[in-house]
A and B are shown apart, each in its own frame.
Chain A
Amino acid sequence: DTGVSQNPRHKITKRGQNVTFRCDPISEHNRLYWYRQTLGQGPEFLTYFQNEAQLEKSRLLSDRFSAERPKGSFSTLEIQRTEQGDSAMYLCASSMGRGGSPLHFGNGTRLTVT
């Protein structure tokens, strides 16, 4: 399968714990995006990378959130000191980065904070 891959699919954690998610984009794609989606809503932009550079971060991305993309390949999203409000589906997408290129999404990581 050459699509966008996200791991784990599901994560249940207790409030206050740290969690890390991984995204492997389509290999030739140089842009990588993170979105968050809560029930009944569309995805909300969190951040994106052009190769290894993080070029934009949403105000939704508090200082408890950090994303990296070392070497411009896979990316990780870490949430520190999780809160119940962090419970959501975290979606990763990648694209060629040229104007008008479609985004391709992974199946997401569903986070539940108890």
Chain B
Amino acid sequence: KQEVTQIPAALSVPEGENLVLNCSFTDSAIYNLQWFRQDPGKGLTSLLLIQSSQREQTSGRLNASLDKSSGRSTLYIAASQPGDSATYLCAVIREYGNKLVFGAGTILRVKS
């Protein structure tokens, strides 16, 4: 059974700091990995999707990497802003699978 773990569970940083969120998964036979952002009481917004054959994806100040063999992904946020405050979730879909399996998320607070 695929399990996804996110570390840390919560993170508080001053504005402008670069930060890294970690995601690990137990079964490396994945099809892709997706990072989401969730604001309080809202749905999920897709940030980045990395196919299993890719090593990283970038969008603006966000960079996600994937090391499939070791079962790890990181989300790097450059020059953090208060508007980045949210819960960040990673999720994987296994090979020949049909559903995303989520971690519990990292709650990020960027202080101004």
Contacts and interface: CB of A to CB of B under 8 A. Distances in A.
Interface of A: 4, 6, 31, 33, 40-45, 48, 55-56, 91, 93, 99-100, 102-108, 110
Contacts of A106: 43
Interface of B: 4, 31-32, 34, 36, 41-46, 49, 51, 89, 91, 98-105
A100 B101 contact: no
Contacts of B103: 42
B101 A102 contact: no
B49 A42 contact: no
Given A100-B49, A100-B51, 13 more contacts: A33-B100, A42-B4, A42-B105, A43-B44, A56-B98, A100-B32, A103-B34, A104-B46, A105-B36, A105-B44, A105-B46, A108-B43, A110-B41
Contacts of B34: 102-103
30 contacts: A4-B43, A31-B98, A33-B100, A40-B104, A42-B4, A42-B89, A42-B91, A42-B103, A42-B104, A42-B105, A43-B44, A43-B100, A44-B102, A45-B99, A48-B98, A91-B44, A99-B31, A100-B31, A100-B49, A100-B51, A102-B34, A103-B34, A103-B100, A104-B46, A105-B36, A105-B43, A106-B43, A107-B42, A108-B42, A108-B43
A12 B100 CA distance: 28
